[in-house]
A and B are shown apart, each in its own frame.
Chain A
């Protein structure tokens, strides 16, 4: 844990203009009931234009499926950026709750959280969820064709 915190700090130092002051953000995601295998999800932060900033969490451990998380994988992120930020894929109807560190500089600064989702042999969804990052807790529902029923965060 200690090690990853240092990694974030370093990553933040290069990617962001200001030295990072971090806090913990809790992401809560509930999937709807769909027929199929467990979903791969990528949670990441972009600016309003969709320019990738950094990865918050990846559900699903097998790198060979990451190419289906279409926008996220396109951002040119490096493996080291989300080392230690991966967990199990999420099944139909399940809820994922995960707490990660987030730099203060990304909050209330026009950034947003996006979720790419994919299920084997089913549709890959680019940015199925888009939710502005504010200091107030946020909540939204997923796309009509996607796998996310509800997504929210709080500090």
Chain B
């Protein structure tokens, strides 16, 4: 029940904020256009008023709106109304008609067209916005590793959650101002705070001398137009021949005969505060601030939308735990420490598969660690890392609880870390957990294993290890809730090194159109899009875990192209090598947006070996702008498996490829790609100084060898691989 209330409240606040931001954006735009269009003059109020009074018979008062628009109320025996005038010439520009649309939007923004109940709601949404900004700032500081690092660059990333963080940090100060001022205005309008606008006391004495010409009145001559709020003309020339004048700082009365102030009263603190809140909230008075507010409103639209979406996705990930057994009955306990919710995905897979194998499993968050699990023999800790090696939300109390009551000896435990190696302290929290267990003398049953960004190969390895330990065949699929399998028809195949025991093949598949989505899903269904560097997952059979291959083509090419080496005894690669054109397999596209050249003109160093050339040749093909690309590739036999040999040479001639360095392990002078890199250390150093990005694709051993060459080069430059990784300038796709 409380969850339901929470859900409804969050949704309602989200919708309120969306509405406020949308209407606020239009109002800020309108305010800005009024400010930019309002005619102005450097003349004093006296000169302006004289001109206007001459042009408008029966003038009652002149009001200057915060946007700079000048309004004049008049009343004669025949007619009355409100006019817009030009302060420079005094000319009447037309009747003052506020736009019905803008008034409607303003009321919608202020009270949702619900009257005073709506004002309470608007006030609540301002309060909600304030709380969201403050808690958001706190979360962000935590994620970045402390308030001191609040202003340092955020590691590059993609996706809504990343942009939510980036946009939120930039707009935070303005959002807080908007929320605070909105809250203040709501409180004033609900009369929770005094507005202080009581008005000055009218003069008691009689002022009946004949009026002097307006332009001569000194109090008006000394007042600049932008300081004018309202000038009210004498209503009663016989006894009260004075002007009522409201300025930016106070209000009072000006003798129409002498031009002197009769009295002047400065605005009190309450009024100054509420006026400041008004100016800050509406952007009145400064086109620059209006522009900022408009920008901030758009940002709020995005933040609310992306926030709601992220929250909804997370909810969907945590999902329902079907068949979850209470802690005291469980044989296996799985505890989850997750920030974004994606780690729950693996817990659910474990739960379902172990349960199918007849085991009683309890899944809960790491915060829910209990001192005793009477029947449990095995404990699996799935720990994601939040920010700078900190505990994610659902594991915040875990270490403390563990400290208070160490795990019982007979409870065999394993820790799996989930994280992102681009961040410092990769899997930092999982390591902390493992260390604390060690300190407490609780040996891990399996060594700590860290999964980098749901890497499929590592997941497979993890599933194998866990499966053996738990006595049940397991498979773990990357967190991707909706995978629609597609039929892939082989269009063509090109074989290299047919005689060798592990030949390589370039395979091109046609992607069958996706089945038509039903219901509202149709609205966001798009044609499958992919680029070089994305992955093609091939499912070799029913119930088997997919294998991932880097894609060398993009959707514009009309085919999915991959390179596959037939591994001795490899089931999936064997299957793919047996395919003949026209045959079909099942698979899906897995986006891999991190592995591709970053935007810009910086040089890119592509390093690959064997079939790892697939994404790299894709990048070269797309390099029509002839950005400097340097390819290092290592193969076996120059005669038999120089994959894409002729194509690469033509790109070199054409300029899509700047440099091509080859290494063959079975040639006349056997050598590896690392050796070529070492030879070119000077050139690499130069490229890295120019801000080059490095993309490595190939086997784990090769990637390690490449790192061993690159790291010393970086050290001479005073940089490190870790730094490059954080900047997104060193990316690996290894298998």
Residues of A65-84 whose CB lies within 8 A of B: 66-67, 70-71, 73-76
Residues of A22-40 whose CB lies within 8 A of B: 35-37
Bound state CA distance, A74 and B204, in angstroms? 10
* Majority SS at the chain A contact face: loop
**How many Å from the CB of B326 to the closest CB on chain A?**
58
Q: Please state if B82 and A123 are interface contacts (CB–CB under 8 Å).
A: yes
Q: Please state if A62 and B191 are interface contacts (CB–CB under 8 Å).
A: yes
B98 — which chain A residues lie within 8 A by C-beta?
121-122
A63 nearest in chain B by CB position: B198
Q: Please state if B100 and A35 are interface contacts (CB–CB under 8 Å).
A: yes
Interchain CB contact (< 8 A) of B80 among A64, A66, A70, A123:
A123
B75 — which chain A residues lie within 8 A by C-beta?
126, 145
Taking residues whose C-beta sits less than 8 angstroms from the other chain, chain B's interface range is: 20 to 34
Q: Is A138 part of the binding interface, using a Cβ–Cβ cutoff of 8 Å?
A: no
A61 nearest in chain B by CB position: B191
**How many Å from the CB of B253 to the closest CB on chain A?**
10
Taking residues whose C-beta sits less than 8 angstroms from the other chain, chain A's interface range is: 20 to 34
Q: Please state if B197 and A70 are interface contacts (CB–CB under 8 Å).
A: no
A146 nearest in chain B by CB position: B80
Q: Please state if B235 and A76 are interface contacts (CB–CB under 8 Å).
A: no
Q: Is B73 part of the binding interface, using a Cβ–Cβ cutoff of 8 Å?
A: yes
Q: Is B195 part of the binding interface, using a Cβ–Cβ cutoff of 8 Å?
A: yes
Bound state CA distance, A154 and B75, in angstroms? 30
Q: Please state if A71 and B82 are interface contacts (CB–CB under 8 Å).
A: no
Q: Please state if A123 and B73 are interface contacts (CB–CB under 8 Å).
A: yes
B82 — which chain A residues lie within 8 A by C-beta?
122-123
Q: Is A144 part of the binding interface, using a Cβ–Cβ cutoff of 8 Å?
A: yes
Residues of B181-202 whose CB lies within 8 A of A: 191, 195, 197-199, 201-202
**How many Å from the CB of B506 to the closest CB on chain A?**
71
**How many Å from the CB of A129 to the closest CB on chain B?**
14
Q: Which of A63, A64, A76, A143 has the most CB of B within 10 A?
A: A64
Q: Is A112 part of the binding interface, using a Cβ–Cβ cutoff of 8 Å?
A: no
A123 — which chain B residues lie within 8 A by C-beta?
73, 80-82
Q: Is B232 part of the binding interface, using a Cβ–Cβ cutoff of 8 Å?
A: yes
Interchain CB contact (< 8 A) of A71 among B79, B100, B107, B235:
B235
B195 — which chain A residues lie within 8 A by C-beta?
64
Residues of B339-366 whose CB lies within 8 A of A: none
Bound state CA distance, A121 and B198, in angstroms? 19
**How many Å from the CB of B274 to the closest CB on chain A?**
9
B73 nearest in chain A by CB position: A123
Q: Is B43 part of the binding interface, using a Cβ–Cβ cutoff of 8 Å?
A: no
Interchain CB contact (< 8 A) of A143 among B60, B80, B103, B232:
B80
Bound state CA distance, A126 and B233, in angstroms? 13
Q: Please state if B198 and A126 are interface contacts (CB–CB under 8 Å).
A: no
A70 and B235 in contact, given A64-B195, A144-B80 (Cβ under 8 angstroms): yes
Bound state CA distance, A145 and B95, in angstroms? 13
B232 nearest in chain A by CB position: A70
Q: Please state if A37 and B201 are interface contacts (CB–CB under 8 Å).
A: no
B201 nearest in chain A by CB position: A76
Residues of B43-82 whose CB lies within 8 A of A: 60, 73, 75, 79-82
B80 nearest in chain A by CB position: A145
**How many Å from the CB of B81 to the closest CB on chain A?**
6
Q: Please state if A124 and B73 are interface contacts (CB–CB under 8 Å).
A: yes
Interchain CB contact (< 8 A) of A145 among B81, B198, B240:
B81
B60 — which chain A residues lie within 8 A by C-beta?
126
A73 — which chain B residues lie within 8 A by C-beta?
199, 202
Q: Please state if A121 and B80 are interface contacts (CB–CB under 8 Å).
A: no
**How many Å from the CB of A16 to the closest CB on chain B?**
20
A143 nearest in chain B by CB position: B80
B191 — which chain A residues lie within 8 A by C-beta?
62
Interchain CB contact (< 8 A) of A64 among B81, B197, B201:
B197
Bound state CA distance, A76 and B240, in angstroms? 12
B202 — which chain A residues lie within 8 A by C-beta?
73-76
Q: Please state if A36 and B103 are interface contacts (CB–CB under 8 Å).
A: yes
B103 — which chain A residues lie within 8 A by C-beta?
35-36, 121
B199 nearest in chain A by CB position: A67
Bound state CA distance, A64 and B232, in angstroms? 17
A74 nearest in chain B by CB position: B202
A35 — which chain B residues lie within 8 A by C-beta?
100, 103
A124 nearest in chain B by CB position: B73
**How many Å from the CB of A65 to the closest CB on chain B?**
8
Bound state CA distance, A153 and B75, in angstroms? 27
Bound state CA distance, A66 and B202, in angstroms? 14
Which 5 residue pairs spanning A and B have beta carbons closest together?
A: A64-B197, A145-B80, A64-B195, A67-B199, A123-B82
Chain B residues at the A interface, C-beta cutoff of 8 Å: 60, 73, 75, 79-82, 98, 100, 103, 107, 191, 195, 197-199, 201-202, 204, 232, 235-236, 240
Show 6 residue pairs from A and B whose CB-CB distance is below 8 angstroms, ordered by the A residue.
A63-B198, A66-B199, A74-B235, A123-B82, A144-B80, A145-B75
Given contacts A66-B199, A76-B204, 17 further A-B contacts (CB under 8 A): A50-B236, A62-B191, A64-B195, A70-B232, A71-B235, A74-B235, A75-B202, A76-B201, A121-B103, A123-B82, A126-B60, A126-B75, A143-B80, A144-B79, A145-B75, A145-B79, A145-B81
